[in-house]
Every structure is written in C-alpha cells, then in structure tokens.
Amino acid sequence: MNPEWVIIGSGKLATALVSRLFENNEHNIHIVARNVAAISELQGRFPDLKQLSFESIPAGSICLLAVSDSAIESCALRIKSDDCIKIHFSGATSIQVLQGNSAVLWPIHSFSIPEAINWSEITLVAESSTDPAHEKLSRLIEILGGPVAYLNENQRLQMHMLAVFANNFTNHLFRIAFDYCEQHKLDFALLRHLILQSTQALNKFKPAELQTGPAMRNDFETMQQHQAILKDNREMLNLYLIISESIRNHYSH
C-alpha cells in the first residue's frame, strides 16, 4: 500500500520535496500550509496535490515538517492522527520536539539560492527514534537519492555549527569584499576565479594544504600596507587582524 505523504509548509524546501515526490511517481501527496498563493502555484504545477488541514491528516501518514526551526515543535503538536511518522529537516533542532515515531533528515544545502535542486548531490544527515520511523525515513532517503550520513543529535549539531563556519561566515566575508568593491568602484568579478579555484580544490586537498597569504608567510610589510588601507574601516580592520592572527598562530608551529 502506498504511504500518505503530508508536506507541512510551502517554502522552498517544501516545494523541493513536493517536486521530488511527484518526479518519483509517488501517490497520495498532500500539503498543509497557510500560504494560499503558494499552494495554488504548487497545485498548478502538480494538479494531484491535495490540500489538507492538520485535523484531516490521515492516520499513518508520513508528515514532512518543512517549516522554520521555530515552528517545528508547534506544528508537530498539531498532528493528532494516530501512528504518523514525523520528520523534520533542521540541523539544529532536537528530534525530541517531535515525540513518538519521529526522524530527522537534514540536507546540508542552502535552499535560499535560486537554482534547480539536484537531490542526488545533497548530503543528507539522518536520525530516527524508532524502527518504524527508520523504515519510513529510509524510504524518503531512497526517493531523494543523495548520499546519507547517520549521525546522533550531538554530532548533527556539531556539523551544523561547522556549516556556519564553512558557509555562512565565508559568505559574510564575500559580502564584505563585494560591498568594498561597490564603494570603491572595483570589480568583484575579478575575485571569482580565485574563489572558485579555492573551493573546488577542496575536492582534492585538505584546507591546511591550500592556505596562502601574507599572514601564513609572516609578510608583515604587506600586512601593514593592508591595515593602512583599512584604517578608516574599523569592521574590516578588526576582522583582518583577528583572522590574520588565527592563521599565524596555526602555522607558526
């Protein structure tokens, strides 16, 4: 018997899940959401998508909570149907907020980027609370098709923290460089090859093997020139000093 899929939410993650389920020719796909326009758009693309309320979720459904971290627990509490498997997709939210047969499937991916989603390339971090939940989680993993890592809650939270370092912090530095270029009539595009070269090289080398720059080689003359340029930009100067010191401390051993 085909499972009842219930996607809760209507944002980019929810849309990506609905799309993948239909691509895989799954049946009995439902959505619970408040955004009428988003639901209408999805039903225009997928006419067989049925809208439900929390009260009408069928018993035994697989409920995919594709909502913000702050809304996961409140949405889970509104699922009253018997024997539902509840799965959330947060890297930083405990599985405990779901209660009962539950699982977590955190895609290590930024859904804020407006691009086609290839689930087969997205690493999925998985955790389940019971055997029935693990069985349904495994089915979802099979449908999505990406590589999977089974981590406990503490390990997943550590990976989420590291994703902040590796993705959010680096993008913030890109933003700072971009804004500086805008303010000083420089072309940020001149840096794109260097950025891509560095990230692509991580497929073959460890980060420590790729580190370059004046801080690593103790080129104080160049560092002082850079600091002079930044003397009136306190935010960039502070970041320059802190990160340079971190690099020097690591490579001075």
Of 128, 151, 174, which closes a domain?
A: 151
Where is the domain boundary, 98, 123, 151? 151
Domain count, the chain: 2
* Domain boundaries, position 10: 5-151
Determine the pLDDT at residue 252. Answer: 82
- Based on the domain organization, do 126 and 241 belong to the same domain? no
Both 125 and 247 in one domain: the answer is: no
Taking the CA of residue 58 as centre, how many other CA atoms within 13 Å lie in the half-sphere pointing to its CB? 15
In sequence order, the β-bridge partners of residue 132 are: none
Sole residue written with tokens 């809650």 = 153
**What is the model's pLDDT at position 142?**
97
Q: Which stretches of the chain score pLDDT less than 50?
A: none
- 84 and 137 both lie in a single domain: yes
Q: Are residues 146 and 228 in the same domain?
A: no
- What tokens does 101 get? 């047969």
pLDDT tens by residue, 221-233: 999 999 999 999 9
Smallest Cα–Cα separation from 127: which of 148, 112, 144? 148
Phi, psi of 105 (to 5 degrees): -140, 95
Question: Are residues 243 and 131 both part of a single domain?
Answer: no
Task: Out of 151, 168, 186, pick the residue that ends a domain.
Answer: 151
Q: Tell me, what's the pLDDT at 187?
A: 98
State whether 111 and 211 are in the same domain.
no
What pLDDT shows up at residue 253?
66
Q: Indicate if 19 and 140 belong to the same structural domain.
A: yes
Give the 3-state secondary structure of the chain: CCCCEEEECCCHHHHHHHHHHHHCCCCCEEEECCCHHHHHHHHHHCCCCEECCHHHCCCCCEEEECCCHHHHHHHHHCCCCCCCEEEECCCCCCHHHCCCCEEEEEECCCCCCCCCCCHHHCCEEEEECCHHHHHHHHHHHHHHCCCEEECCHHHHHHHHHHHHHHHHHHHHHHHHHHHHHHHCCCCHHHHHHHHHHHHHHCCCCCHHHHCCCCCCCCCHHHHHHHHHHCCCCHHHHHHHHHHHHHHHHHHCC
Q: What is the pLDDT of residues 147-203, one digit of tens each?
A: 999 999 999 999 999 999 999 999 999 999 999 999 999 999 999 999 999 999 999
